[in-house]
Amino acid sequence: MKKSWMIVPLFLLALVGCGGQSDDGGTVGTEDGDLSPLDKKTTVLIAEDGAASGAGFYIAEEKGYFDAYNIDVKFTKFANSDDMLPALAAGEVDIAGGISTASFFNAIAQGIDVKIIADKGHYFDGASYFSFVVREDLKDKIKDYSDLKGKKIAISSRNSVDDYIYHKMLEHAGLTEDDVETVIMSDFGNMLAAMGSGSIDAALQIEPLITQGEKEGLHVRFKDATDFAPKAQIAMVLGSPDFVKKDKDVSLRFMTAYLKGVRDYNDAFLKDEGKEEIIDIMTEYTALKDPALWEKVAVTGLDPDGAMFVEDIKSQYKMYKKNGATRGDFDFEKSVDTSLTQKAVDILGEYK
């Protein structure tokens, strides 16, 4: 395994980040229609914490897709997005993962310039990796969404994608927050303990804790989030403005390699092709180390063409704005840039 994690001081990030290549936009290709390697080895820094949604990065690294373009990928970690977003905007980091929160939109609206460039997490139809569970002893009493009336439901945060999914579920159930008791629990692991003690009745939980809780008899998976949010955009790939716009020869090759990794991931988990190899990579890079569990969990949906549900991102923003949680106006035309994924798909062809 070639995994290379770094905890890098901010003042050093600028020294190793991408830069210095010509701006050919990836027009020079090989005989098979793929892109030619860069003239010199170029480092691309990715802010990634080992989340399963980073599968495209991990697979592209391990299978040599980045290396084939003369790209040397380094992974770095940040304590929180408040530190990560300014570093990304300044070009000290080239690529990062992000989720929708009011604070995320506020940071960009107030001048932290980052680009939303590709999908990094959505739902596979009927197999949601981020979905509701109900307490094991209530499974015969809570059979439909309306049965959640009067129950204690845990979510991890307010004015976030979690809160958005929660309200989509309540709307689907014909309920409002006045009909339930909302419990904020920032640690998903603590939700398991709360299920065990009986202090909550249901929760918006995430894999692999959904599967773990089922195995331990604490909760059962309740329906599926695609019932009410089939096109929810849970996470996005973010790029620094310089990486996306100025280092086009590097960024296009990076995106093409990334999508190759995502396609292998889809082949493994949707088509059962090369699955053992992909699971080996995922156990190396993520916190889920048991290969057998990878056969049971509902995995993160990753679009093989990098496409995002942009309208859903807009819907999330509208909810935060309605709640009074956002400041200023968010310019989607400026901040959402799908040009890299479109060009990469032109090179690779649409996934089938």
Rounded to whole angstroms, the Cα distance separating 340 from 90 reads 20
Distances in Å between the Cα of 95 and the Cα atoms of 98, 116, 236, 253 are: 10, 10, 11, 13
Instruction: Name the more confident of 334 and 7.
Output: 334
Judge whether residue 153 has pLDDT over 70: yes
Query: Between 33 and 229, whose confidence is greater?
Result: 229
The answer, yes or no, to whether residue 42 has pLDDT greater than 50, is: yes
At 281-308, the pLDDT tens digits run: 999 999 999 999 999 999 999 999 999 9
pLDDT at 22: 45
Whole-structure pTM over 0.95, yes or no?
Answer: no
Distances (CA, A) of 46 to 251, 328, 335: 12, 29, 19
- Which segment of 32-36, 153-157, 222-226 scores lowest on mean pLDDT? 32-36
Average pLDDT of the residues of the chain: 93
For the segment 68-72, the average pLDDT, to the nearest whole number, is 99
Predicted pLDDT of residue 12: 44
Statement: residue 62 has pLDDT above 80: yes
Q: Report pLDDT digits (tens) over 231-288.
A: 999 999 999 999 999 999 999 999 999 999 999 999 999 999 999 999 999 999 999 9
Which domains does the chain show, CATH number per domain? 5-123+233-348 (3.40.190.10), 130-227 (3.40.190.10)
First CA to last CA distance, the chain: 29
Helices (H), the chain: 10-16, 55-62, 65-68, 81-89, 102-109, 161-173, 188-197, 209-215, 241-245, 248-271, 275-285, 291-294, 310-322, 332-335, 339-348
DSSP state of 147: G
The reported pLDDT for the residue numbered 11 is: 43
Band (200; pLDDT cuts 50, 70, 90): very high
At 79 the pLDDT is 81
Query: In the beta sheet, which residues pair with residue 152?
Result: 181
Assess whether pLDDT exceeds 70 at residue 25.
no
Is the pLDDT assigned to residue 7 strictly greater than 80? Answer: no
- CA 309/CA 307 separation, integer angstroms: 7
166 or 33, greater pLDDT:
166
pLDDT above 80 (res 32) = no
Please give the pLDDT value at position 30. Answer: 59
Give the 3-state secondary structure of residue 53.
helix
Average pLDDT over residues 177-205: 98
Mean pLDDT, to the nearest integer, of 136-157? Answer: 98
Compute the average pLDDT of residues 94-115: 95
Query: 329 vs 239, which has greater pLDDT?
Result: 239
Could you give the 3-state DSSP secondary structure of residue 126?
Answer: coil
Q: Comparing 320 with 17, which gets the higher pLDDT?
A: 320
Helix (H, G, I), strand (E, B) or coil at 274: coil
Confidence of residue 1 (pLDDT cuts 50, 70, 90): low
pLDDT of residue 14: 45
pLDDT at 9 over 70: no
